[in-house]
Amino acid sequence: MNGFAKQILAVQPSARVVVLGDLDDFEFSGTMSALTSGSVLPPLVNSLPAGERYTYVYQGNSQALDRILTSQPGKGSRSRH
């Protein structure tokens, strides 16, 4: 998905790419590292205060498995004129 987002942004730097859903993986996993590599699809949860970065509570542990990743058009991309 990260590579696909890069391809889209290479063609259309102002594109808005969104990946969302229950990715069922922790932020420190290899999968999430691959998805967010190069800040192409930064996770929106990181914009929240640390104490609010969770999507469910299991046995008293607050964790985030649901994700919303969004591109930031123009950031790191060259505009085509």
DSSP state letter for 43: B
Q: Where are the beta strands (DSSP E) in 1-81?
A: 18-22, 56-58, 61-63, 66-70
- Asked whether 27 and 64 are in contact (CB, 8 A), the reply is yes
pLDDT per residue, tens digit, the chain (81 aa), is 999 999 999 999 999 999 999 888 888 889 899 999 999 999 998 899 988 988 889 899 888 888 999 998 665 444 443
34: closest CA among 3, 67, 75, 65? Answer: 3
3-state class (DSSP) for residue 55:
coil
* Residue 71: how many other CB atoms lie within 10 Å: 23
